[in-house]
Amino acid sequence: MSKWTEIEKKYYMPTFQRMPVVLVRGQGARVWDDNGREYLDFVGGLAVNSLGHCHPVVAQALAEQGKTLTQTSNLFYSVPQLQLAELLVKNSCFEKVFFTNSGGEANEGAVKLARRYGKLHQDGAYEVITTFDSFHGRTLAMTAATGQKKFQEPYTPMPSGFVNVEANSIEAIKKATTKQTCAVMLEPIQAEGGVNIPSEDYLKKVREWCDLNGILLILDEVQTGMGRLGALFGYQLYGIEPDIITLAKGMGGGVPIGAFLCNKKADGFKAGEHGSTFGGNPLVCAVAYAVSKYIIEYDVADNVQRTGTHLGACLAELKAKHGFIADVRGRGLLWAVEFKKDMAESVMLGCIEKGLLVNKLKPNAIRLIPPLVITKKDADEAVGILGEVLARQTG
């Protein structure tokens, strides 16, 4: 064990179940630990390192903006922020954007915007319907939005204004809708909650229901956005347009940035009604602009589609081989392998031993969320290692 594990134990709040690896360097889809061991990284900073580690585009934008201007506050105009805003709006169905420091904060902003809409157009409606097994962040309000008891129970009572209902059920949303409802908030695919794929027409039905009732549809694309599913935004794959979308993770390629974007209907903030000291500062926006421009110009989503389809097919072969695999599911480069037993920890540790990083999603499931620029060869290597590890499991 490295001395850093001891230092962590002594000084860091024990909120994370860390993997037994101290990472010190990264390049592309590879990372190295403090003993110089190399790993193929299929965690990717938890779906953040969209262009891989230390991509030249990221390194150059960081260095150049770091020497130019890093923080201005939002009391002034700043060029990288406005360039990024223009790029995102021009490549989406939205009209306006606000930048935050994280995904959770983007969702907070989206909910505030929906409540604003409720006040302005729905007689003060303020409730947001979300689903069980969703994940929307760790702030207190987003813990209430996140439909998972294990995250809520240590902090009850939860802030009011959120109703958690069954996922992938339009009937559940209909039943929960009242005069107080201002929005429905969903992930296109529940990522942290299990990589749960909804039925093909679910989002369309939710969109129709929201329109019928004059309520907003917020899509949390913090994990699924910026190419992860094989399209720039997940909503494009489901033939709908949300009123508000939230982004974070992959859009900064490693720097902490989030955003919420809205259409004309939801655009309700006036000066002073929302804010952030760091949100959208020149440093992170210069990097996120370079990353987002690269993702769009080089059609990274197309690579995701091709390598993702290949990865999915290889994982399906593993499932056919091992009776203890209950399910393989995903889209683009967001995949879960679910086991019939709680063996994810042992599989994850086995992969580490053989030089592959995967994420333990649940006691019985692992998740693969590699950089969006991986090659088929990287996918083959990962599946090869995973296959060797699974072959040693007793099931």
Ligand X SMILES: Cc1ncc(COP(=O)(O)O)c(C=O)c1O
Q: Which residues are catalytic?
A: 135, 220, 249
* Cα–Cα nearest to 202, from 247, 171, 227: 171
Is the Cβ of residue 260 or residue 339 nearer to ligand X in the bound state? Answer: 260
Output the smallest distance, CB 68 to ligand X, in A: 26
C-alpha radius of gyration, the chain, whole number: 21
- The 15-54 site mask, x for binding ligand X (CB under 6 A), equals ----------------------------------------
Is the Cβ of residue 50 or residue 102 nearer to ligand X in the bound state? Answer: 102
Output the smallest distance, CB 104 to ligand X, in A: 3
Rounded to an integer, what distance in angstroms lies between the CA atom of residue 134 and that of residue 229?
A: 17
Tell me: does residue 351 bind ligand X (CB under 6 A).
Answer: no
Rounded to an integer, what distance in angstroms lies between the CA atom of residue 125 and that of residue 118?
A: 5
Query: What's the first-to-final CA gap in the chain, in angstroms?
Result: 29
Q: Helix (H, G, I), strand (E, B), or coil: what is residue 113?
A: helix
Rounded to an integer, what distance in angstroms lies between the CA atom of residue 212 and that of residue 66?
A: 48
Among 43, 163, 222, 244, binds ligand X (CB under 6 A): 222
Rounded to an integer, what distance in angstroms lies between the CA atom of residue 287 and that of residue 371?
A: 16
* Cα–Cα nearest to 220, from 135, 153, 335: 135
State the residue for tokens 């935004």.
Answer: 233
Tell me: does residue 223 bind ligand X (CB under 6 A).
Answer: yes
CA 124 to the chain's CA centroid: 30
* Cα–Cα nearest to 105, from 252, 270, 262, 248: 248
- Write out the DSSP string of 179-211: TTEEEEEE-SSBTTTT-BPPPTTHHHHHHHHHH
Q: Pick the stretch among 25-33, 66-74, 89-97, 132-140 that binds ligand X (CB under 6 A).
A: 132-140
Is the Cβ of residue 220 or residue 243 nearer to ligand X in the bound state? Answer: 220
Rounded to an integer, what distance in angstroms lies between the CA atom of residue 348 and that of residue 337?
A: 11
Contact between 111 and 141 under an 8 Å Cβ cutoff? The reply is: yes
CA 111 to the chain's CA centroid: 17
Among 53, 55, 115, 136, binds ligand X (CB under 6 A): 136
Output the smallest distance, CB 377 to ligand X, in A: 28
Site for ligand X in 95-114 (CB under 6 A): 102-104, 107
Output the smallest distance, CB 110 to ligand X, in A: 10
| The amino acid at 153 | E
- The 162-201 site mask, x for binding ligand X (CB under 6 A), equals -------------------------x---xx---------
Tell me: does residue 360 bind ligand X (CB under 6 A).
Answer: no
Is the Cβ of residue 102 or residue 305 nearer to ligand X in the bound state? Answer: 102
Per DSSP, 147 falls in state: B
Output the smallest distance, CB 236 to ligand X, in A: 17
Output the smallest distance, CB 223 to ligand X, in A: 4
Half-sphere exposure of 65 (CA within 13 A, CB side): 24
Residues 6+ apart with CB under 8 A from 169: none
Output the smallest distance, CB 259 to ligand X, in A: 11
Q: Pick the stretch among 15-23, 131-139, 237-245, 332-340 that binds ligand X (CB under 6 A).
A: 131-139
Is the Cβ of residue 220 or residue 378 nearer to ligand X in the bound state? Answer: 220
Tell me: does residue 248 bind ligand X (CB under 6 A).
Answer: yes
- The 61-100 site mask, x for binding ligand X (CB under 6 A), equals ----------------------------------------
Among 126, 135, 238, 339, binds ligand X (CB under 6 A): 135
Residues in contact with ligand X by CB under 6 A are 102-104, 107, 135-137, 187, 191-192, 220, 222-223, 248
